[in-house]
Structure 1
Amino acid sequence: MTLQPALDHATGISITDPASGETVGVLASADAGEARVAVERAALAFPGWAATPPAERGLRLRDAALALQARADEVAALNTRETGKPAGDAAGGVEAAVNTLLQYSELGPVHRGRQLRGGRMAVDVAMPQPRGVVVALTPWNDPVAVVAGLLGAAIVSGNTVVHKPSERSPHTGALVDEILAAALPEGVLVHVTGDGATGAALVEQPDVAVIAHVGSTATGRALARVGAERDVHVIRENGGNDALIVDRDVDPVWAAGQAALGAFANAGQICTSVERIYVHRAVAEPFLSALVAAADAWTTTSGQPLVDERMREAVAGQVDAAVAAGATLLTGGTVPEGPGSRYPATVLADVPEDAEVLTEETFGPVAPVVVVDDFDEGLRLAAADRYGLAATVLTADMVNAHRAAALLPVGTVKVNAVFGGAPGGSAQPRGASGSGFGYGPELLDEMTTTTVVHFGLPGGAA
C-alpha cells in the first residue's frame, strides 16, 4: 500500500498528530544532491570502519544502544505523537530496539566463517566481509525496533549506513539516528530525511552495495529491479496478507481473543497482523460472537488512530467495497467524527472470496471472516495468496499443525499464538512479501559477502 503524507518540496514534509490533528512539525526533504553527499560520506568512512576489529565495532554499537536507552522516554513520546502508536507500545518498541542493538553488539564479533579441508596439507577458509554502503529504507509502523535490526546488523558487520526513515515518521527517525550516530565514528551512520523520490536518489548512487527495505510490495519490487540492474544486494520485507485458521477443536472464545489481538493490535498496522480469518463451521457462531465483543471492547479501550487520514480512507474504502459486494458488517465500519484519523475495530462476515479486503493487505483494524467446512478448506484458502510473510493456525490437532507448517507457503507459521517467537529468531518472506532474512543472526549473513581462500603449500615444502 503506497500512501504519502502531505509533501511539498518547497516546504518539506508536514506531519500531524493522528490523535489530535495538531501539527507535529515540518522537515525539509533532501534532494538528489544531498542524497549523493550522504552516500559519499558513508563511502568515505567505510574503509576505516571495515578495518576496525569486530570486537571494537561491537563495543561502539553497545554504546549506541545504551545511549538510546537513556533517552527512551523521549523517543517513545515522539513516536506516539507522530504515528499514533499507544504509549505502552511505543515504549515497548524502544525497549525492543535497545535489546536488538545489544544482541547484535554481541553477535557481530562472533560472526564466523567456515573451513573446509581439501588435501591433507591444504585448507579452504570462507571469511565474511562487509559489503560496503548500506541504504536502509525503514517503515513508520514500528519506526524504532525495525530500524535497530537493520542498522545494528549492518554496522556491527563493518558496513556503513545511510538511513532514510519513512516520510510518515521522519521526526522519530531523525531523533533515533542522531542518538545512535553520536556514539559511532563520523560517517558510519548518516541520516537523510525525504520521501520516495529521496529514496530513489539514494539507491541510484554508485557507491551503494546493499539496499535494505521494509515497506510496501510495490516499492520493494522497484528496488529489486534497481538491485538487479546495478548489481546491488537487496534485502526486503514487504507487504503481507497473513491468514488465521481456526480449527474445530479449540475454544472459540480463546480463538476470538487471539484473532482480535492479531487483527486490532496497533490498529492493525503490524507487518504480521492477521488480515483474513478462516474459521471452522463447527465453532463459527460462538467465535463470531466473541470476536464482535472483543472488537467493541478494543474500540472502547484503545481508540488508537491510524497513522493518517489517507490510511483511514484506504481502510474504509476496502471495508465499504466488501459490504457493497455482499459482506455482512457485524461491527465497526463507520468513520467517527472529530479530529484525527481513528477507525473502529471492524468485523466482516460472509466476505466474497475476491474482495480486496481478503486479497490485499488492509493494514487497519479489520477482521474479515470466512466460514469453512473443514480444516482442509481453510488450509487451501490460506495458501492461495500471492503474499508469503506469515500465517497462524489455532488447533489442538498436531497432525493439522504439522500439515500447516509443511504446506503454507510463508516464511513463518505460528501455531496457537498470533504473535511471539524466540529471541534471535529469523525468517525469510516469500512471494510478494519480499526476500532475504530481515532479522536474527542470519541478517549478519545478508549484510556480508564471503571471500574463500584456498591455502596450499609452496613447491617442495611438503
Structure 2
Amino acid sequence: MHIVEHLIAGRWSAGGDVSTVIGPHAGAPVANFPAATPHEVAAAVAGARAAQPDWAATAPAARADALRAAATAVEQATGELARTMSAEMGKPEAEAAGSIAAGVGTLRQYAELGQLHAGRTLAGDLGATDLMVREPRGVVAAITPWNDPVAISCGLLGAALVTGNAAVSKPSERTPATGWLLTRTLAPHFPPGVLSMLAGGAPTGAALAESAVDVVAHVGSTATGRAIAAAAARTGAKALLENGGCDPLIIDTGVDPAWAAQQAALGAFANAGQICVAVERIYVHADVAEEFLAALVKEAAAFEIGPLVDLRHRSAVHGQVVDAVDRGARILTGGTIPEGPGAWYPPTVLTDCTDEMRVVETETFGPVAPVVTVASFDEALSRATRSPYGLAATVLTPSMSNAHRAWRQLETGTVKINAVFGGAPGGAAHPRRGSGQGFGYGPELLDEMTATKVVHLESPPGGW
C-alpha cells in the first residue's frame, strides 16, 4: 500500500488527517493519504512564490531541457504509474499505460513549443521600438481529476513550468498515490519549490483555489469549476476550467447501423464511460433506430471495461439508470449492480429515453448509453443543443450538407464528424457554458499560462 506525502517547498511531509483509498477492483486498501492543512497550503504557495523568479529567469532552452528530462523519467516509470492508476481508479493497466504515453508526449510537445513561445514586435514610429512580450503569470494551482490523472496533469504542469511559472499540484483524492508518484518522478528535474504537491479532498482544493496564486487550472465537475471561478473572481487569479459535459451523438438516416453502434459503444463505454468527452446521450433517426439498437446491445455485451472508480460513483450512475426506468425508459442490456466486491457496473443501453430524464440532461460519467429516437436530422440537432453544457458533440452522417450544418449549429467546443474520438495533434477548443472556459490543452495553453506585456521604447532627447 502506498503512503502518500505532500511536497512543500522542496521537502516531503505527511501532515494532516489521513484517509484511505479503497481500490475499485476488489475493495482492498490501495493508499493512505493526508489532507493538507490551510497552513500547509499557504506554505506550498509561499515556497512556489519564492522559487518562481529564478525559474522565470532561467533560459527557455534550459527550462525545455528540464521538461524533456522529466518526460523521459515519466516514460521510464510507466509500469509503476500504470499499476497504481489501475489499482486506484480501475482503468486496465494497458489502457493506463496508453494514457501515460499520451502524457509523456504532451510534456515533450511543450518542451519543444515552450522555447519558441515568444511575443512579437509592432510596427511603430521609426525612432521607437514596440514589443509585445509574454511573461509567466507566477504561481499556477493545478487541480486535476481522477479519470485520467497522469495525462491531464502532464498537460497543465508541463505548460505551466516550461513558460517559467511555479506550480502547486492537487491531485484528486480518488487517485492521490498516482499524483504522488507522478510528482516524485517530475520534481527532481526542477529547482526546489518550483513544483509542489498537496494531497487532500475538496477542502484542500478549495483552500488552494482561494490562496494567493495567479492561475487556477481545474479539470473536473461543473459544480467545482463554478466554485473555483467564484474564488478566482475574489482573488484576481485567472480561472482556467474544463468542466463537465453531456456530449450528444447524432446518428443520421443512411448511416450503417452496425458501424454507428461501434462508434456509440466506443464513445459511451471506453474507460467505463469515465471520460470528459464520453458520449452521454444518443439521438438516432427513426429510419435506422431498430437496427442500431440491436447492434448496440451486441456491442455492449462484448465490450470489456474495468470497474468504476468507487462504490459512491457506482451508486450515482445506477441512480440515474433507475430514475430513467421510473420515468419510462427500458433497459435493453445491463443496468444491474453485479454481486461481489468492487465497483463493477456493466455497459448499459437504455431506450425510450426523453430529454427530461436525468440520464439525458446531466452528465452520468459511467458506461450508460441512453438512446432517444427522433424523426429527422433537424429534430436531432435541435434537441442536441438543449443543454447547459458545451464540451463536445459527435455527428454520424453520410450527408456533407448535414455535416456542415451540424458543426455550425452545435454550440460546443469540439464537433466530430463520423468519428467519436480522434483529431490532429495540437488542436484546442474553448468549452462553452457550464463546461468551462479557456484553452486547457494544445499550444494555446501556453498563452493561458502567460501574460502579455506591451513595451514602448524611445530614446531620450539627444540619444542614448
* Aligned match of 1:296: 301
- C-alpha offsets along residues 420-452 of structure 1, whole Å, 9 cap, x if unaligned? 111111111110000000000000000000110
C-alpha displacement of 1:69 = 0.8
Distance in 2 of aligned mates of 1:390 and 1:336:
31
Matching of residue 216 in structure 1 with residue 221 in structure 2: yes
C-alpha displacement of 1:296 = 1.0
Distance in 1 of aligned mates of 2:49 and 2:19:
27
* 8 Å contact kept, 1:67–1:183: no
* Aligned match of 1:115: 121
* 8 Å contact kept, 2:270–2:305: no
Correspondence 1:307-326 to 2 at 5 A: 307-326=309-328
C-alpha displacement of 1:202 = 1.5
- C-alpha offsets along residues 285-304 of structure 1, whole Å, 9 cap, x if unaligned? 11000001101111xxx241
- Partner SS state of residue 322, structure 1: helix
* 8 Å contact kept, 1:295–1:347: yes
C-alpha displacement of 1:333 = 0.4
- Partner SS state of residue 153, structure 2: helix
From 57, 67, 70, give the equivalent of 2:76: 70
* Aligned match of 2:422: 420
- C-alpha offsets along residues 382-413 of structure 1, whole Å, 9 cap, x if unaligned? 11111000000011111111111111110000
**Which consecutive residues of structure 1, in runs of 5 or more, have no partner in the other structure?**
1-8
Distance in 2 of aligned mates of 1:393 and 1:459:
64
- Partner SS state of residue 149, structure 2: coil
Distance in 2 of aligned mates of 1:86 and 1:222:
32
- Partner SS state of residue 454, structure 2: strand
What is the RMSD of the two structures over their aligned residues, measured on CA atoms? Answer: 1.3
Q: Percent identity?
A: 57
* Aligned match of 1:169: 175
C-alpha displacement of 1:204 = 2.2
- Partner SS state of residue 189, structure 2: coil
* Aligned match of 2:11: none
**Which consecutive residues of structure 2, in runs of 5 or more, have no partner in the other structure?**
1-14
* Aligned match of 1:203: 209
- C-alpha offsets along residues 266-313 of structure 1, whole Å, 9 cap, x if unaligned? 000000000000001111111000001101111xxx241100000000
Distance in 2 of aligned mates of 1:342 and 1:417:
27
From 211, 226, 240, give the equivalent of 2:231: 226
* Aligned match of 1:239: 244
* Aligned match of 2:32: 26
* 8 Å contact kept, 2:325–2:331: yes
Calculate the TM-score normalised by the size of structure 2.
Answer: 0.95
Distance in 1 of aligned mates of 2:146 and 2:19:
14
* Aligned match of 1:285: 290
C-alpha displacement of 1:40 = 1.0
What amino acid is aligned across from residue 99 of structure 2 in structure 1? G
Calculate the TM-score normalised by the size of structure 1.
Answer: 0.96
- C-alpha offsets along residues 323-356 of structure 1, whole Å, 9 cap, x if unaligned? 0000111111000000000011000111122000
Matching of residue 261 in structure 1 with residue 266 in structure 2: yes
Distance in 2 of aligned mates of 1:73 and 1:107:
27
* Aligned match of 2:4: none
Correspondence 1:89-128 to 2 at 5 A: 89-128=95-134
Distance in 1 of aligned mates of 2:116 and 2:386:
41
- Partner SS state of residue 144, structure 1: helix
* Aligned match of 1:5: none
